[in-house]
Amino acid sequence: MFQVRYETLVWSAVVMLALCGATLPADAAAMASKSILDVTEGDRIAHTLCVNCHAVDTGGPAIRSDRLLSFSSIANQKNLTSTTLPAWLNTSHERMPDFNLTRDEIRQVSAYILSLRK
């Protein structure tokens, strides 16, 4: 459900800019499309792999009973960036299973988590 709203928001902004006579460079339009696809695919991955331990939607609890942060809580951490999150996901952690995510999958999950930022 979130992807539809996010995608609608981005494309609505593109249409509004076009109606105002603004133009986007071809690479900016491609980046917006890629970003939407990353968030959508990251959402799918999160609901496949991560949902067993984390609350991956915005409506879930901030911290589960086993003390694992929700994706919304992770997204809103002060020092989290589009650089630090993929780096963190790329390293092994004691309590986190190693899913052997590809670089693309790490980018996609990171994009999804960061899309939950308020």
What number of other Cβ atoms are within 10 A of residue 6's Cβ?
Answer: 18
- Structural domain span for residue 32: 2-115
Please tell me the distance from the alpha carbon of residue 82 to that of residue 113, in angstroms, as a whole number. Answer: 10
Digit-coded pLDDT (tens) for 64-96: 767 888 999 999 999 999 999 999 999 888 888
Asked if 112 and 45 count as a contact pair (C-beta separation under 8 A), the reply is: yes
Q: Per the structure, how many domains does the chain have?
A: 1
Asked if 39 and 111 count as a contact pair (C-beta separation under 8 A), the reply is: yes
Phi-psi region of 100 (alpha: psi -120 to 50; beta: other; left: phi over 0): left
What 8-state DSSP symbol labels residue 90? Answer: T
Query: Residue 71 has which token pair?
Result: 């994706």
pTM more than 0.95:
no
